[in-house]
């Protein structure tokens, strides 16, 4: 008997598809967003110590107490607000789990969730699994700035949740303080919940300040703030993230979490707690670390026919390939992989309705200089 799919729009993700194509053609993979350099030695050593010390069984459902305390301290240091480690912080198996938990915690069948396109590909499936409807509001096609009047116009009596992401994947655009004040006004006026995806919170450039929702008292009592250790500490394969939310929302969030994964990789939690305590300079200096990579990447792109767009934050670079090809972005991504040996990610899968004539590709610069140099040597032949 053929099952009736609950996710009719979902197939193999573009990331899996392009990475497989890259492997098949031995291309330099600048598509999937993971670093190819080492995890901090202190973190690896702390993980090994935790495992050798026997910390290999289930962690507490809400997260190891040492890690939740470290997150609380880091949050206060960064954003001037100290969440209660017992009632407001939950450790999850990556940010993707946290996003799913948050949506299922508060969104009911028949309701609506506003997402801003282009948006990360796990948002809409989470909404679908809640039996709700994703309402897509496009960002500006060139600057990726939000139009808050269009967001307001999309709100109906069924709207339950607004989802935002800053620094933004795939564009790197960032929300300003004025943007966050607009968000606060919207969710308060309409009684909405907010999900703020902040996994690139420490990767911000040019002296900018990350405007976390946790900075804004008007948002704290209605927001799930989600982050990821994988992005901060170069270990995406460890799949550890967390959610900061007020006590009432955390109660509902944890109801889903405990029957989803229940708990998360215990020794890694203890290692992250030690890393935050002993090496806070890592997350404090991460923006500078990646800004050097961004600047070097853009300088080398200037020697190609690809046009680099501004990158305020995150570790992705959008490039306009209009001077190279008239192919649509998916076809161009495949051609670039097969014919030139460099893999990027097309932007169209991040949209419900891609802008007509858009010719943009996402490249990841969280790579060793050798990887970047190999890719650039091939891109210069375009």
182 within 8 A of 263, measured Cβ to Cβ: no
Could you tell me the pLDDT band of residue 11, with boundaries at 50, 70 and 90?
A: confident
Using a pLDDT cut of 70, give the percent of the chain over it. 100
Alpha helices (H) along the chain = 14-24, 41-52, 65-79, 95-106, 123-129, 148-154, 177-190, 217-220, 229-232, 247-260, 266-278, 281-284, 286-301, 329-335, 369-379
Residue 304 has pLDDT above 90, yes or no: yes
Q: Rounded mean pLDDT of 180-186?
A: 98
In a domain, 5, yes or no: no
Residue 126 has pLDDT above 80, yes or no: yes
Mean pLDDT, the chain, whole residue set: 97
In a domain, 1, yes or no: no
**Angle at the Cα of 214 from the Cα atoms of 210 and 216, rounded to 5 degrees:** 95
Residue 278 maps to which CATH number?
A: 3.40.640.10
Query: Are 113 and 163 within one domain?
Result: yes
Place of tokens 């006590």: 247
Check whether residue 27 and residue 154 sit in a common domain: no
Last residue of one domain, picked from the residues 282, 311, 333: 282
Is 370 within a domain?
yes
Give the mean pLDDT of 326-334: 97
59/44 Cα distance (integer angstroms): 19
**Is 298 in the same domain as 260?**
no
Which residue range(s) make up the domain with 22?
A: 14-39+284-379
Q: φ and ψ at 191, to 5 degrees?
A: 65, 40
DSSP assigned state of 9? T
Q: What is the mean pLDDT of residues 257-264?
A: 97
Q: Rounded distance, CA 211 to CA 217, Å? A: 12
Q: Of the candidates 282, 304, 338, which is a domain's last residue?
A: 282
φ, ψ for residue 36, nearest 5 deg: -115, 20
Residue 8 has pLDDT above 90, yes or no: no
Are residues 310 and 325 both part of a single domain? yes
Rounded to whole angstroms, the Cα distance separating 357 from 328 reads: 8
Residue 138, domain member (yes or no): yes
> How far are the Cα atoms of 119, 212, 307, 373 from residue 380, in angstroms, in the given order?
30, 38, 12, 10
Is 2 a residue whose pLDDT tops 80?
A: no
Reduced to 3 states (helix: H, G, I; strand: E, B; else coil), residue 138 is: strand
| Count of structural domains, the chain | 2
Q: What is the pLDDT of residue 32?
A: 85
Cα 283 vs. chain centroid, distance in angstroms? 16
| 3 belongs to a structural domain | no
The tens digit of pLDDT for each residue in 52-90 reads 999 999 999 999 999 999 999 999 999 999 999 999 999
CA distances from 366 to 112, 266, 314, 317 (A): 35, 27, 9, 10
* Domain CATH number, residue 302: 3.90.1150.10
Q: pTM for the complete prediction?
A: 0.97
267/40 Cα distance (integer angstroms): 16
101 shares its domain with 197: yes
Decide if 236 contacts 35 (C-beta within 8 A): yes
Q: Which pLDDT value is given to residue 10?
A: 83
Helix, strand or coil, per DSSP, at residue 346: strand
* Contact (CB, 8 A) for 379 and 340: yes
Any residues with CB less than 8 A from the CB of 367 and at least 6 apart, and which? 30, 35, 36, 37, 293, 375
**What are 84-111's pLDDT values in tens digits?**
999 999 999 999 999 999 999 999 999 9
Q: Which of 266, 282, 298 is the last residue of a domain?
A: 282
Same domain, 225 and 94: yes
Q: What is the pLDDT confidence band of residue 135, given thresholds at 50, 70 and 90?
A: very high
pLDDT above 90 (res 5): no
């Amino acid at each position: 008997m053929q099952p009736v799919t609950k996710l009719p729009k979902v197939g193999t993700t573009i990331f899996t598809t392009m990475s497989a194509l890259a492997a098949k053609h031995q291309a330099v993979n600048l598509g999937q967003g993971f670093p190819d350099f080492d995890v901090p030695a202190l973190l690896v050593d702390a993980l090994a110590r935790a495992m050798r010390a026997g910390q290999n069984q289930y962690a507490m459902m809400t997260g190891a107490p040492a890690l939740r305390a470290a997150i609380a301290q880091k949050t206060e240091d960064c954003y001037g607000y100290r969440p209660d480690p017992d009632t407001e912080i939950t450790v999850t198996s990556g940010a993707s789990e946290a996003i799913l938990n948050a949506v299922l915690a508060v969104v009911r069948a028949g309701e609506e969730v506003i997402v801003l396109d282009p948006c990360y590909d796990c948002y809409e499936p989470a909404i679908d699994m809640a039996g709700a409807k994703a309402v897509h509001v496009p960002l500006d096609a060139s600057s990726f700035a939000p139009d808050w009047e269009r967001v307001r116009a999309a709100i109906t009596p069924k709207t339950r949740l607004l989802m935002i992401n800053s620094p933004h994947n795939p564009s790197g655009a960032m929300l300003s303080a004025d943007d966050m004040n607009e968000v606060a006004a919207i969710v308060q006026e309409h009684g909405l919940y907010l999900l703020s995806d902040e996994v690139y919170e420490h990767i911000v450039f040019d002296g900018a300040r990350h405007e976390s929702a946790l900075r804004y008292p008007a948002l704290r009592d209605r927001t799930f703030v989600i982050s990821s250790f994988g992005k901060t500490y170069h270990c995406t394969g460890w799949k550890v993230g967390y959610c900061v939310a007020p006590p009432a929302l955390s109660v509902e969030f944890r109801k889903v979490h405990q029957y989803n994964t229940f708990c998360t990789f215990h020794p890694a939690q203890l290692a992250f707690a030690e890393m935050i305590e002993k090496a806070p300079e890592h997350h404090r200096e991460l923006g500078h670390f990646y800004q050097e990579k961004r600047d070097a990447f853009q300088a080398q792109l200037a020697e190609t026919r690809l046009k680099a767009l501004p990158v305020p934050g995150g570790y992705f670079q959008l490039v306009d390939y209009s001077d190279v090809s008239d192919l649509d972005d998916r076809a161009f991504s495949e051609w670039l992989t097969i014919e030139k040996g460099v893999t990027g990610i097309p932007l169209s899968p991040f949209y419900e309705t891609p802008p007509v004539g858009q010719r943009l590709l996402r490249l990841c610069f969280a790579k060793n200089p050798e990887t970047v140099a190999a890719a650039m040597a091939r891109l210069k032949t375009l």
